Amino acid sequence: MTHHNVLSLTEQLIAMPSVSRDSNVAITDFIERLLTAAHWQTERTEYIDDNGERKANLVAKLGTGQGGLAFCSHSDTVPGQEQDWEAFVPQVRDGRLYGRGSCDMKGPLAATLVAVLSVDPAALTQPLYIIVTADEELGLLGAKHLVAHSALLQASRPTYGIIAEPTSLAPVYSHKGFGRIFATATGKSAHSSTGLGVSALLKTAPFLNDLHAIADLLEQDKTFHNEMYTPPTQTLNAMIETEPTAINVTAERATVRVSFRPMPDSRSPEIHQLIIDSAEAHGLDVTENYIAPLFCPITADLVQAAVSICGRQPTTVSFGTDGNYLKNVIEQLVVLGPGSIAVAHTVGEYVPVAELEEAVTIYTRLINHFC
Ligand SMILES: [Zn+2]
């Protein structure tokens, strides 16, 4: 059996750039080879993204039958910002491993790989899975594709799933979802000196007025809050894009882009509909998407096992994960991984080496418990 070291494997993955705007095929090939060399069964679902780049999701399985335990990660990262640091040259200093993706989430991914590769296949009573998606940083596009196209996941239906995103090794049983409403007004473009134009932007004004009232309502009315989260609110955000942008031309198109973060038991579907209804009542064209929050009851056996194995209390986070889609094929999901989300996406992103090593121990115990 091959023995892998979590630090050196993370360094290898960091040195293999996989920024979301580029293809992730090379890193996916590398991970797939590690697993097939250990006799895992693998399946890929692939697609070509909007920029013509080839993207790959990977599902790997050890053992047979349904159920079992899955470890879920994404292989893409945010851009390296290489002008400010050596993002793709991993460096260890003061017990920390620095590099783009060290905590989000090549370190966590490496910890899951080292844990599963140390398992004796003959001792397994339930199947084990590794899931690695593309384009998590671009709105969970890879996970969405995977859930729709993976025959292996549809047939296997893992019972338990660990999303290895950085939580400083605290078990996270719930995170917020994401509501998105784009409302577009159409006007008529003309040189503003002619008086012949119709401003699309001004047509959005009544909707913005409603939105302002809805935002206030969400902050003030406690029935839209959930005290399990920090902050306990749905944090509505709005942006406007106009075309064209010159000051002396009337806007042909104006799109108000609204987002908020749904929580369980907080009337979130109602809010989503309220925003859509307002936009439509004011004659705007709407496209929308609603991703429900992730939630696993604290009493579920996965949360209970994670809490007792980690020795840390269950908690919630406000960021989203692939769990928003993976919950359609995996019964219970907990987010649990090394590193802090506070340094993810930053220049100087790092993961504490001790947490990487502790993660391997925790994942190994979870495997022994469930498989
Ligand atoms: Zn991530």
In tens, the pLDDT along 195-254 reads 999 999 999 999 999 999 999 999 999 999 999 998 999 999 999 999 998 999 999 999
Distance 283 CA to ligand 1 centre (A): 38
Distance 223 CA to ligand 1 centre (A): 30
Distance 164 CA to ligand 1 centre (A): 9
Distance 28 CA to ligand 1 centre (A): 16
- List the beta strands (DSSP E) in 190-323: 237-243, 253-260, 285-291, 294-295, 315-317
Distance 104 CA to ligand 1 centre (A): 5
Which is nearest to 36 in space by CA: 133, 117, 122, 97? 117
Distance 263 CA to ligand 1 centre (A): 20
Distance 356 CA to ligand 1 centre (A): 15
* Mean pLDDT to the nearest integer, 298-314: 95
Q: What is the pLDDT of residues 253-287, one digit of tens each?
A: 999 999 999 999 999 999 999 999 999 999 999 99
* Mean pLDDT to the nearest integer, 130-149: 95
Distance 176 CA to ligand 1 centre (A): 15
Q: What is the pLDDT of residues 87-107, one digit of tens each?
A: 999 999 999 999 999 999 999
Distance 140 CA to ligand 1 centre (A): 10
Distance 247 CA to ligand 1 centre (A): 39
Distance 192 CA to ligand 1 centre (A): 46
Distance 89 CA to ligand 1 centre (A): 19
Q: Residue 234 is which amino acid?
A: Q
pLDDT band at 173 (very low <50, low <70, confident <90, very high): very high
Distance 319 CA to ligand 1 centre (A): 9
pLDDT for res 2: 43
Rounded Cα gap, residues 236 and 258, in angstroms: 7
Rounded Cα gap, residues 239 and 313, in angstroms: 37
Distance 137 CA to ligand 1 centre (A): 7
pLDDT band at 320 (very low <50, low <70, confident <90, very high): confident
Name the DSSP class of 88. Answer: T
Name the DSSP class of 18. Answer: -
* Mean pLDDT to the nearest integer, 335-362: 96
DSSP H helices in 118-251: 141-149, 151-156, 200-203, 205-220
Q: Is the pLDDT of residue 52 over 50?
A: yes
Distance 58 CA to ligand 1 centre (A): 16
Q: What is the pLDDT of residues 341-354, one digit of tens each?
A: 999 999 999 999 99
pLDDT for res 224: 97
pLDDT for res 318: 81
Kind of pairing, strands 178-186 and 172-175? unpaired
pLDDT band at 84 (very low <50, low <70, confident <90, very high): very high
Distance 366 CA to ligand 1 centre (A): 21
The token pair that represents 342 in the structure block: 């506070």
Domain architecture of the chain: domains with CATH: 6-175+294-370 (3.40.630.10), 178-291 (3.30.70.360)
Q: Is the pLDDT of residue 169 over 80?
A: yes
pLDDT for res 348: 95
Distance 245 CA to ligand 1 centre (A): 34
- Give me the chain's average pLDDT, please: 95
Place of tokens 């504490």: 352
Rounded Cα gap, residues 235 and 250, in angstroms: 32
Distance 201 CA to ligand 1 centre (A): 35
Distance 260 CA to ligand 1 centre (A): 19
pLDDT for res 8: 96
Q: What is the pLDDT of residues 69-79, one digit of tens each?
A: 999 999 999 99
- Helix 301-310 to helix 353-370 angle (10° resolution) is 140
Distance 169 CA to ligand 1 centre (A): 14
pLDDT for res 1: 37
Q: Is the pLDDT of residue 166 over 80?
A: yes
